[in-house]
Structure 1
Amino acid sequence: MRIWIYFIGVFFCLSSVKASDSVNLVLDSGEEVTVNIFLATFAEADKPLLIWFTEGYASRQPFKHLISQLNDLGYDFWQVDLLESYFIERTPNNVRGLTGEGVEAVLQYASEQAVKQGKTFVPISTGRMSLILLRGSRLWQVNHNPNKGIGALQQVVTFFPNLFDAPKKAGDAPSLFPIVSATSLPVTIIQPTQGTYKWKLPEIISALETSGSQVAIAAVPNVRDWYFLRREPSDIEKQAGEAIPELLKVWLKAGQVAEQKTFKPITELVIKEATVSIKGLVSIDNRTAPNFELRDVDGKVINLKEKRGKVILLNFWASWCLPCVKEIPSMNRLAESFDADKFEIVSVNFKESPETITAFLKSVKVDFPVLIDLDGRVSDSYEIFAFPSSFIIDAKGEMRYSVNTAIEWDEPQVKELLGAMIQ
C-alpha cells in the first residue's frame, strides 16, 4: 500500500515495496541464486532493466524507498544478494572471496530476457560487491560471447567501489585485485567527494583502462560512501539520496557507448586470494612518519614534526565509526598513564566538518587534540583503508607499530611497550 502526502506542490511516496516475483537460478555448482523482481507499474520501453547486487542492505527502508522511486520512474528492478543466496556469513573477506559465478548466471538470464523484450540492462553494485560484479561480468563475456562483448548490457554502474585487497597492516598501500586491469566494460563510477577512496580514483581508472574499459566518473558532492543507505543520514545525504533516481538518466547518458565500440575481456585471469589483515599491534620496519599540518577543532595549527622528542600515538578516526568511539575512553586512560612531555595522543578526524566534531565532543569526552582532515589527503598519505587505524611513532619520528582496528589502549602489554619506548 502507498500513501501519498502533498506538501506545497511536492509529492512524497511512503511505500512498503515488495518483490512482485522471484527467480532461482541454479549454478553448475548446485548453488542457487535468488533474483527478487520489482516490476514498474508503467514500465517504459526506453528504460533499461536495473540489476542491483546488494551487500546486506536490501531490507533497509532507504533502499526500499529507492526501489519504489525507480519503479515510479518506469524502471523494472532486480535485486540480488549473493551471500544470502549462498548462506554465507557476511564478512569483508567472504565478499572478496566470491568468484562471480552467481553474477554470471544473473547477467545471462538478464540477457535472455532483454532479447525477448527488446531492452537493455544495467548491473549496479556498491563497495566491495563491485569487485564481484567485475569478476562475474568477465565470466559472462568469456563464456557466453555477447555481441561486441556486452550484448544488451548498457553499462556497469558502481557506487563508491572498493576494488582493493586490504593490506596486512595499517600503513601499507592496498593493491587492486587483478580483475580490475583485466576488465573490459563500459563502467560508470559514482564517487562521493567525501568517500574513502576518492584519492585512489586515478589508480582505479588507469587499471580499468588497461584492457579497454570505457570509464565515466560522476561526483556526488559533500557526502560519504553509503550516503543513500544510512539509517541516520545528514540533510545533505538525504537530498543526495533522493536525487539518485532522476540523476540516473544523466549518469547513464554520460557513460553511453559508441555503436562501433567493442569490448574484449581478458581470457586468462590471475587469481589472487584476499589478504587476511593482522589484528592488534603490528611491528613496522622503521619508516619515517609522513609530516602534515592540520588545524584542530579550535582552529589551532598543529604540525606533526613539532612533536619530535615525544612518543606519539597517531589515531585516524570518524565519529560515525562505532569501534572508533568505543576505544576513546581507553585512549583517555592511556594518556593519563604517561608524562605529557614524553607521550602524546594526536587524533586525525576523517572528512567531518568542525561543526560535526564539536557537537560530538559535547557528548563524548576526548582528552587529546582532534585534527580535521577535511579533504582526506593526510589519511591517504598514511594509506588508511579502515577506521580506526593507529600508529605508534617514536621520539625520532619513525613509525614503529600500527593497528588497523580498535583495541583497549590501556591494556598492560600496550603500556609496557610504550613505557619501553619512552624511557
Structure 2
Amino acid sequence: MRFYLCLLSLLVAPVFASELAEPLFLDTGAEIPIERYSGADAAHTRVLWLPSEEGLQSRELAVARELAATGPSVWAADLHTAYFLAAARTSLEQVPVEDVVSLIEAAAADVQQLFLFTSGRGAALALQAARAWQLEHPGSERLAGAVLVHPNLQKGLPEPGEPPSYRPVTTATNLPIYLFQPGLSAKRWHLSDLARGLASGGSDLFQHFLPSVSDGFMNREQPDDAERAMNQQMPALIARAVRLLEPYAGPRQAPALVGSDDVDAEAGLAAGLRPYTGDPAPPELNLPGLQGETFDLQSYEGRVVLVNFWATWCPPCVHEIPSLGRLQEQFEEQGFSVLAVDVGEDEVTVRRFLEKRPVAFPVLLDLAGEAVNAWNVSAFPTNFLIDAQGRIRYSYYGALEWDAPEVVAIVKKLLAEMHEPAR
C-alpha cells in the first residue's frame, strides 16, 4: 500500500485517431454501443472508458480520441444508450454489474493490459465490476489498474455535520489507481479519507491535484478558459497516468467486501430546512474577514446565526446569495445574522467575485479548509441555523430560497424564543 502525489503540468497538441462505432454483444446478452479508437500500442494496452452518471459527452470523447493517439486503444462504452438511461445522479445504479464484468472480459481479451477510466459516480460501478472480474480470474495480470477523475464513492448523501461514509467497494479494491482531483470541489477537503479507504484494500494510489477546475470539467457544455485548457492537457495526463501504473500491475486477489454495496436510489435532497440531529454544540468558527477583522462565532451568542459554507465557483451557492441577503435585511435588527464562510479561495478571488455580486453580510475566509473539516462539510452549499443559545437547530445541504415563507417561519420561531422566559 503506497501513496503518491503527482503535480504535473503538460501541454498537448491536437492529434487524431481512427475510430469505429459499433455495438458489442456481451456474453450476458447485453448490447453495448462502443466508440473504438485505435492507437499505435493497441496490441499491448487498452483503456476501457466508462461514463459518469451524466453519460458519455462529446467533449470527453474528444479526449478519448486524442488519448488513443498517444498509444493505447480506447473503448468508450455508451452505457446510457444501452440501458435507455437519462443523465441523473443514480443513473448508473441501473446498470447490471455482471454486464460490466462481461465488458471488461471482452475489452481485455486481445491485449496484455487493460486499464479502466471513469469519473464521478462511474467509479463505484467500475470498481465493483473490477473486483467481480478479479474473483472470476484469480491471479490474472490483464486488468492492470484504474484512472479515476473526481471519483464519487460516497454511500448516499451525507447529513450536514456528519463525515462522509464510503461504499464498501472503496476498501475492497486493490488495483493500482491514479486519481485526479479538481481543486474547486468540496470533495478535495475529504480526499485524505477517501485515499486511506482505497489504500487500505492494497491499492497503490497516485493522487494528482488539478487546482483550477471543478468536478465535471470534462463534460461542461460551456467550459471556462481554465476548463478548456485542462481538457487539452487531459489526453497527455491520462496517458502518463497509464504509463505510471503499468509497472504496478500484477496478480492480485480481490479483497473481502464488508457490508452491502447497494445504494438507495430513491435517496435525495431534503425539501427544506431539517431539524439538526447531530451534536448541537457547534465546532469552533474563528476566521478572518475581508477587512482584516476576525469573526468568532462565540461572539454572536444571543443572536440567531445562519452559518453558510460556500465557494464562488459553486452555482447553487451563487444562486442563493440574493435570498440570503434579503433574509439578513429582513431580520438583522431583530437579532439575526448571516456568516458566509468561503472555503479554499484567496482574498483576491473572493473580492473580485463580490465586486460583481456585493453582499450585506460578512464573508469569512477559510483558505486552508480548517473550518470545513471541523464542521464536516461534504458539499456546497451547506448551512447551519444556530439559535440564540448557541445550539445548532436546523441544517440544510443545497441551495434554498432563504426568504421563502417556510424558512422565514423557522427564523421567526427562533427569534421569538429569545424573548421567552428561561425555563
Q: TM-score, normalised by structure 2?
A: 0.84
Distance 1:372 1:19 in 2: 48
1:276 Cα deviation from its structure 2 partner: 3.9
1:132 Cα deviation from its structure 2 partner: 1.0
**Partner residue, 1:34:** 33
Distance 1:201 1:319 in 2: 20
Q: Confirm whether residue 323 of structure 1 aligns to residue 324 of structure 2.
A: no
Identity %: 27
Cα contact 1:185–1:263 (8 A) shared by 2: no
Cα contact 2:85–2:91 (8 A) shared by 1: yes
Deviates more, 1:314-323 or 1:251-260: 251-260
Cα contact 2:272–2:396 (8 A) shared by 1: yes
**Partner residue, 2:365:** 372
Unaligned runs of 5+ in 1: 1-9
Q: Which one-letter code corresponds to 1:334 in the other structure?
A: L
Q: Confirm whether residue 171 of structure 1 aligns to residue 161 of structure 2.
A: yes
1:352 Cα deviation from its structure 2 partner: 3.2
1:91 Cα deviation from its structure 2 partner: 2.0
**Partner residue, 1:407:** 400
Distance 2:330 2:196 in 1: 48
1:215 Cα deviation from its structure 2 partner: 2.3
Cα contact 1:216–1:254 (8 A) shared by 2: no
Match of 1:200 among 190, 195, 202: 190
CA RMSD of aligned residues (A): 2.9
Match of 2:330 among 325, 337, 341: 337
**Partner residue, 1:128:** 121
Cα distance change, pair 14–251 in 1 and its aligned pair in 2 (3 A):
closer
Cα contact 2:61–2:76 (8 A) shared by 1: no
* 1:42-191 correspondence to structure 2 within 5 Å: 43-44=40-41, 48-55=45-52, 56=54, 58-61=56-59, 63-96=60-93, 98-114=95-111, 119-142=112-135, 144-145=136-137, 148=139, 150-167=140-157, 169-191=159-181
Cα distance change, pair 176–371 in 1 and its aligned pair in 2 (3 A):
same
**Partner residue, 1:391:** 384
Cα distance change, pair 152–206 in 1 and its aligned pair in 2 (3 A):
same
Task: Select the structure with the greater relative contact order (CA < 8 A; seq sep ≥ 6).
Answer: 2
1:363 Cα deviation from its structure 2 partner: 2.8
Cα distance change, pair 271–190 in 1 and its aligned pair in 2 (3 A):
closer
Q: TM-score, normalised by structure 1?
A: 0.84
Distance 2:72 2:25 in 1: 22
Q: Which one-letter code corresponds to 1:204 in the other structure?
A: L
**Partner residue, 2:24:** 24
Q: Give the secondary-structure state (helix, strand or coil) at the position aligned to 1:35.
A: strand
**Partner residue, 2:241:** 251
**Partner residue, 2:270:** 278
Q: Give the secondary-structure state (helix, strand or coil) at the position aligned to 2:355.
A: helix
**Partner residue, 1:310:** 303
Q: Give the secondary-structure state (helix, strand or coil) at the position aligned to 1:175.
A: coil
Cα distance change, pair 290–136 in 1 and its aligned pair in 2 (3 A):
same
Cα contact 1:27–1:101 (8 A) shared by 2: no
Match of 2:410 among 387, 409, 417: 417
Unaligned runs of 5+ in 2: 1-10, 417-423
1:179 Cα deviation from its structure 2 partner: 1.2
Cα distance change, pair 367–135 in 1 and its aligned pair in 2 (3 A):
same
Cα contact 2:317–2:399 (8 A) shared by 1: yes
1:194 Cα deviation from its structure 2 partner: 4.2
1:96 Cα deviation from its structure 2 partner: 4.8
Distance 2:250 2:144 in 1: 14
Distance 2:229 2:329 in 1: 43
Match of 2:252 among 259, 262, 274: 262
Deviates more, 1:239-248 or 1:153-162: 239-248
Q: Deviations over 1:168-196 (max 9, x none)?
A: 53222221111112223222222234432
Deviates more, 1:271-280 or 1:119-128: 271-280
Distance 1:311 1:204 in 2: 35
Q: Which one-letter code corresponds to 1:120 in the other structure?
A: Q
Distance 2:145 2:304 in 1: 51
Q: Which one-letter code corresponds to 1:336 in the other structure?
A: E
Q: Which one-letter code corresponds to 1:278 in the other structure?
A: A
Cα contact 1:209–1:215 (8 A) shared by 2: yes
Distance 2:161 2:48 in 1: 36
Distance 1:389 1:342 in 2: 22
Question: Number of residues paired by the alignment?
Answer: 402
1:397 Cα deviation from its structure 2 partner: 2.2
Q: Which one-letter code corresponds to 1:23 in the other structure?
A: P
Cα distance change, pair 183–312 in 1 and its aligned pair in 2 (3 A):
same
Q: Give the secondary-structure state (helix, strand or coil) at the position aligned to 1:92.
A: coil
